Structures are given as C-alpha cells and as structure tokens.
Amino acid sequence: MLRDRFGRIHDYLRISVTDRCNLRCLYCMPEEGMEFADSSELLSYDEIVQVVEAAAGLGFRRLRITGGEPLVRPGLDGLIRRLKAIPGIEEISMTTNGMLLAKQAAALKAAGLDRVNISLDTLDAARFRFIARRGGLEQVLAGIRAAGEAGLGPIKLNCVLLKGINEDEIKSFLRLSVEQPLHVRFIEYMPIGHADEQWRRTYLPLTAVMDAARELGLPMAPLEELRGNGPSENWAFEGAAGSFGLIHPVSDRFCARCNRLRLTADGSLQPCLYWVDELNVKPALGSRAALEALFRRAADIKPENHEMAARLHGEALSHSPTSRRMSQIGG
C-alpha cells in the first residue's frame, strides 16, 4: 500500500501511451506548432508493463489508459491484455475522444478493457468543428454506440465547459443523461499549459450546471454509487437512464481524496497534474526495486494541494506549475 505524507492511499495509475492526437481541441493544444515526442522517446509497451508490475506490487489496482488520443497508437489491445494479466490489477479504463473507437471497441473489450470515458463537449456538428478544430461528431457518436454494444460501461461523457462557447448546451447534456444510459461529467476548464487571459475569460464554474439542472424542474438526488466515480460529485434525475457529475478542480478542489499518480508517454512519473515536479522512470527500468523506489519518492514529494484557483485571481503560487500541455500529461 502506497501512502503519501498526508495519509492518502494511492491505488490508481493513469498511463499516457502517446502525446499525439487526431483533434486539436482549443483547451488542450494549439492548432499548429505542437512538437510531439519522437516514437523513440516513448515508453515501449514492454517498459510500460515493467512499470505497472512495480506499481501493482505497491498496491495499485486500477489503471487508466490516456493520451493525447490513445487509440492513435497501434496495438493498444495487446498492451491492455498484458496489463490485465498482471497480478493485482483489477480494472483498466480508457479516456478517448471516440474518433477511432467504433472500429476498436469490441477488440478492446475482448482484451480486458472494462470501460471508457469519451470526450464530448458539444452535440452540434459546427460547434464540434470549432472546439476540436476538426470535424468528426458523427464518428464520436458512432464510437459511443459501439462502446455500449461492446459492454464498455458505464460509459461516461467528459464535457469541458467553456464560457461563451458551449454553456448553452448544459441542459441538452442533462436531458441526454435522462434519456440514455450515459453518465455526463461536466469538467471545469483547467489552466494546464496556458493560464492566460483566454483561460480566465473562458473558465466557467460548475454552479452553472446545478442552476440549469434546477431549471429543468425534474426531481434529482445525489448518486453515491457509480463505478469508478473518482473525483466526480454525481447526481441523477428521478427515473433517469444515466446520471450527471461535476468535476470542479478549480472552484472546489478535491486534492484531499486524490489517489492517483500519472505516467507520461515519455516516461515521467508525475505526482500532481499541476506542478512541474516529475521523476524519470527510464533509468530505473530493469530493476523492480528501483521502480518501486521511484513510486515511493513520487508519493513523498506529492503536494497537499494544487493552486489552480490562485491562477484565476492572478495570485502568486507556492510551486512552479507544469509547462506541459494537457495532451503531454495524459490529464
């Protein structure tokens, strides 16, 4: 069992397999000019398995595969099959934009993937093109359907709210949670890689979601049990097929119950999504003891809190924030 200085037990590892993506979402990366890691810089699947074996020996039980867009890296089903066979690993989930999911959902499920989170910030095709800077809404919707047919549930939809861009669709997403067995998670826009005036203008606190939910006039109640709910504060309307959740790292941080570490595609172990501190696992590869020591060190240097809200108000920070983009972290 891996416990940090503040008593938090860590049993959840997020693994980025690539920093590349087939979209260019405006809150994640610029449309042009991104420099991606060369394939030789990425951890191989064999190396990822080594790291996870060490993590499992320390009590990690849940994995999440992320990117960039993880499905752009070939052979992902093979990696998932190997990870699921590691003693101690109980669940593997994946976050994806859904663009390539329709063709791979069945194979991923057969390999051992348990469930998916699918990023979807709008239900309007023109707005999708504006936010993602690419077309493809129909491909994402096809991916959602394929995930359901393959049994990759509960299916969660990750919706990043952007003031002045998609806040008028909150009620549409809430109705979607009533009509279909989908779990919509509204996420606050985080200052990862670009805490500038654009972020401040576009940031929207999730009080807007609860206001919209009340305006629908449907009875609702907190939802205590939802598999893999993580930091989400979950609610469901009476008689709904799905649910909706709030993830508000800026306005109401959930650091006190954080149970995760992150492994970047190029081999850095990150204790906190926001801070610059990270540990390179590559020198430790080949030694189970050295890898376990790195995990212990990551837990030891993990801060008690991030300070994203300070960025909103232009306040000084106690640590240096990460310079990586969200796509480079696997956030």
Helix (H) or strand (E) holding 112: none
Residue 305 burial (CB count, 10 A): 15
- Binding-site residue positions for GTP: 14, 64, 95, 156, 260-262
Distance CA 292, CA 269 (A): 12
CATH number at residue 308: 3.20.20.70
Q: pLDDT value at position 329?
A: 65
- Binding-site residue positions: 14, 21, 25, 27-28, 64, 68, 95, 119, 156, 190, 255, 258, 260-262, 272
Q: pLDDT value at position 322?
A: 56
Helix (H) or strand (E) holding 138: helix 137-150
pTM for the model stands at 0.91
Single-letter amino acid, residue 90:
E
Distance CA 283, CA 285 (A): 6
Distances from the Cα of 33 to the Cα of 24, 29, 272, angstroms: 11, 9, 26
Whose structure tokens read 């669940």? 91
Output the tens digit of pLDDT for each of the chain's 331 residues. Answer: 899 998 999 999 999 999 999 998 888 877 787 788 898 999 999 999 999 999 999 999 999 999 999 999 999 999 999 999 999 999 999 999 999 999 999 999 999 999 999 999 999 999 999 999 999 999 999 999 999 999 999 999 999 999 999 999 999 999 999 999 999 999 988 766 655 667 778 888 889 999 999 999 999 999 876 655 567 889 999 999 999 999 876 666 667 778 999 999 999 999 887 676 789 999 999 999 999 999 999 999 988 776 555 455 555 555 655 555 665 666 6
- The DSSP bridge partners found for residue 222 are 235
Range of the domain at 50: 2-328
Total structural domains in the chain? 1
Distance CA 96, CA 141 (A): 12
- The DSSP bridge partners found for residue 115 are 93
Query: How far is the first Cα of the chain from the last one, in angstroms, to the nearest whole number?
Result: 23
- Binding-site residue positions for [4Fe-4S] cluster: 21, 25, 28, 255, 258, 272
Pairing of strands 62-66, 220-222: unpaired
Residue 216 burial (CB count, 10 A): 14
Q: Is the dihedral of CA 256, 260, 261, 265 positive or negative?
A: negative
Q: pLDDT value at position 310?
A: 47
Alpha-carbon Rg for the chain in angstroms:
19
Q: Is the dihedral of CA 291, 72, 159, 148 positive or negative?
A: negative
- Binding-site residue positions for S-adenosyl-L-methionine: 27, 68, 119, 190
Q: pLDDT value at position 251?
A: 62
